[in-house]
Each structure stands twice: as structure tokens, then as C-alpha cells.
A and B are shown apart, each in its own frame.
Chain A
């Protein structure tokens, strides 16, 4: 009797392992595809402006870094991060910001009004009507921030709220590291945690430049 129970447990365990194994394999392949795709700035035409027009990538200034932030106007952390960014003039001056949210256009308009986003030529507030963001970037979290340099290469990303100064440091440290790597920059780099190894930080970029 007890032996039968043991046998049943083993069969059940093998079944679960099989199902999990398949799901894991599938997910790994999917994630690898996503990582490959977002290594360089992906096309953002699936998102639209609040007036319904699709986003045109040529609106981005080629001399500016691009920061993509997925957010929701009800999320306190998102609000604090956006306010923090708007209070950081150097960051605003050196980047194009793409704020993407899947909430209703009406609440986005309210958000735009409240923060006077229309006054900034390089801050774009986009609506994700088809919920394409998770498909494109592999996560539906908010706030999540992806930072691309002027060469449309991904520098790093931040899951969760992050200070505007940390974003700024990521961008400027990157500019300098491409030319030379000094001890202090390496320290700044260490303090900014790249995501868990799956999206390579600048090192990969640097390596490619050298080769």
C-alpha cells in the first residue's frame, strides 16, 4: 500500500517536472528572443499618441539618449519618478523620454495636464492600446525603465522606481566609458545594478567596440 503511494508520488513528480520543463524551455527561448530584440532600440510604432496617431520614430532626436518608461498614473512610485525626472534639467536636456502606459487615454490626458508634459518637446506620452509593451519588452511591470544611448544600444534597465540622477549617471558614465575606463567610472558602474545578467550592461558594448 505504502509502496503504491510512493510510486504514485514519483509518477506525479515526473509529470509535474515534465510540464514545468516544457514551460521553462519555452519561456527561455521567448526571453532570449526578447533580449535580442531590445538590445537595440525597438520600433515603437505600435504605441500611439493621445490623439490616436501612431508614434513616428523620427520624432526622436538622434543626438539624445532615449529613455523608455512603462508606467501607470495611479502608481505612486511612477508618479514620484516622473516628478523626480522633471526636476532634473540636465537629464531632460540630454534625453528623449518615451512614457508608455496602457491605461485609458482620458486619465493619460489628465496626467499630461498635471505635469505639463506638452511643454517638453522631447517627452512623448504614448498610449499602449493593444497592450504590446509586455510582448515587446518581456515585462508588464511599472515603473520599469529602459535606457538607450545615442547609438540606440541598450545601456541598462531598472525594474521598479529609480532616481533621475541614477538614470543620468547611467547615460553619462556610458559616454565616458566608451572612450576610456577609469577606476571611478567603474565604481559608478558597480553601483548601478544591471538586471540579473540577462541584459548585458555596457561591457558587451565595449567588447564589441574593441573587437
Chain B
């Protein structure tokens, strides 16, 4: 139940300032998600959604770094040092 899944913001509805909602695309399945707590979220951003609410914005740079870091460490590991 603590599962949260990544989805891409398609559009944002700020008509209710206490309940900012977004249309979010989860690999083709679209859902309305409350993005009240990720005020910096923009269209095209990815969020982590849990029971109809966004918990955090996915940090693209960190996401790539996690993957690239290992590539880099590989190269280092390959060095006879």
C-alpha cells in the first residue's frame, strides 16, 4: 500500500487553490492526481503518485545519475589500479 508509481503530468488544473489537480499519464493509463504538495510541478514532469496524490517530483538529474554512476564505477573497476 506504500507503493507509489511514476507518471507524467499532462495538464494541471489550479482552479481550486486548496486542491491542485493534474491529469497524469501512467504508461497510457490516465488518472486525476492531487499535486498540492509538489508546487513546483510542471507539465511534462514526472511525479511519484500514491493513493491519488503526488508524493514527490522525480528528479531527472538524480535519476540519470543513479544509472550513470554505475557505468562510471565500472570503468574505474576495470582499471588495474
Chain A partners chain B: no
A: residues with CB less than 8 A from B are none
